[in-house]
Every structure is written in C-alpha cells, then in structure tokens.
Chain A
C-alpha cells in the first residue's frame, strides 16, 4: 500500500533563512510525487511535482523539491523564506499500481517569523 509521512507537525523558520519541509513515501511501484500548500479556509494549491527526469524539481513561488529514490524522500525547500510562506503544506504520492487517487501526508504547518 502507498503511504506518505511528514515527520514534522510544525516547522518554524526566520524570514530570509532557508526552509525545508520533509516528506517520505512508500509505494510499490514508481511514484508520482506532489507538493501542495493550503492557506486558511482555502483549498489546496499545487506547488510542484516529480514524475520522472531530474531529481531536483522547481515549482511555484520559488519552491523546489528533491526526489531521493534511495531514501524515498521528497523534501520541499526554499532558499529564503518569506512571512507569506506561512501555511499548511501537504506532500502527496500517487502510485500507478493503486489507481488514480493521491495519498496525502498529514501536513506540516510552516511558520515564518519576521
């Protein structure tokens, strides 16, 4: 079965510092990996995805993520955090062996402090 773990409920970082939000996954086949961000009382916004190709994926708002097959990780990163990046972040995986649904991680709340 497919699963996604986000080991940190909360990540705090000072504005201007680099940020990392961690994600590890478990699938039986090749994974499609995604990151989404959710602002209060809003739906999820797509940030980036990894399907195949370069392990470093660049996405919206300056975010990037690195796919690491040996560590089954897909950590989200940004070189310089903004206060406006404060939100809830979800990692998701899709395993083609299990159909069309995504499995979402539990979410990580990012707080960027001014």
Chain B
C-alpha cells in the first residue's frame, strides 16, 4: 500500500519551455503533498507544501511564479516549471501523506529534469 506515482521520470527540453510533473497517490487519499528538489549528492530541499484545495505554501527563496503547484484533488498534485532554464535542471521528488498525523511521507520515484 501507500504508492505514489510520479510522472514523467525524465524530461529533456529546450530552455524557455514549461514542464509539468504529476504526482499521484494511487491507493490512499493524500491530504498533503510535498515537492522537493535534490541536487547531486545532496539532501532533499523542500520547495513547497500543498494541501488539497488550498494554495501551496512555498519555502523561502522558492519562486511561486516559477514553480506552479496545483493540488486540486486528494490524489493528484502537479508541479509546473514555467519558462525553464538550465539552472532549473535537477531531480524533483514529490511525496504524499494521508490523513493520519503520525504517518510517514510516501515518495514518488522522482523526475530528472534536464534543460538544454
């Protein structure tokens, strides 16, 4: 149980394009979803937290107009990287947590984004 599907697993695109990443909880209702960015050989950096039906809460230094997050249902959150540039290239990981407060986050397999 507690499976999170993240799609696509890899994206290569030109600078200036927008990229959408989907994160789905397949067998549970995710009241909260998290988006992380991971640089090579580093830990996860939280970008934003989203609760279903509410606006996402962004961490300091993360541009909300650059990284658009939508959490329209209890099973789906999307991250759109708008007008992507090479410095946005990274490994993006989503996670989801259900309604129980002491439950772990369950992670997707990540999306490797490469902007040329």
Q: Using an 8 Å CB-CB cutoff, how does the interface string of B88-116 with A read, 1 for contact, 0 for none?
A: 00010111010001101111111010000
Residues of B within 8 A of A107 (CB): 42-43
Report whether B112 and A41 are in contact in the complex, using a CB–CB cutoff of 8 Å.
yes
Residues of B within 8 A of A42 (CB): 109-110
Report whether B95 and A44 are in contact in the complex, using a CB–CB cutoff of 8 Å.
yes
The residues in A between 13 and 66 inclusive whose CB is less than 8 angstroms from any CB of B are 32, 34, 36, 41-46, 49, 51
Give Cα distance in the complex from A41 to B4, angstroms. 15
Query: Given that A43-B6, A44-B95 are contacting pairs, would A32 and B102 also be in contact in the complex, using a CB cutoff of 8 Å?
Result: yes
In the complex formed, the residue of A with least CB distance to B94 is A43
**Interface residues in A, total, Cβ within 8 A:** 20
Give Cα distance in the complex from A49 to B108, angstroms. 19
Max count, chain A CB within 10 A of own CB: residue among B4, B43, B46, B94:
B43
In the complex formed, the residue of B with least CB distance to A94 is B102
A104 at the interface (CB under 8 A from B): yes
Report whether A44 and B93 are in contact in the complex, using a CB–CB cutoff of 8 Å.
yes
B interface with A by C-beta (< 8 Å): 2, 4, 6, 32, 34, 42-44, 46, 49, 91, 93-95, 97, 101-102, 104-110, 112
A interface with B by C-beta (< 8 Å): 32, 34, 36, 41-46, 49, 51, 90, 96, 100-102, 104-107
Listed A/B pairs (12) with beta-carbon separation below 8 Å: A36-B107, A41-B109, A42-B110, A43-B6, A43-B95, A44-B93, A45-B107, A49-B102, A100-B32, A100-B97, A104-B44, A106-B42
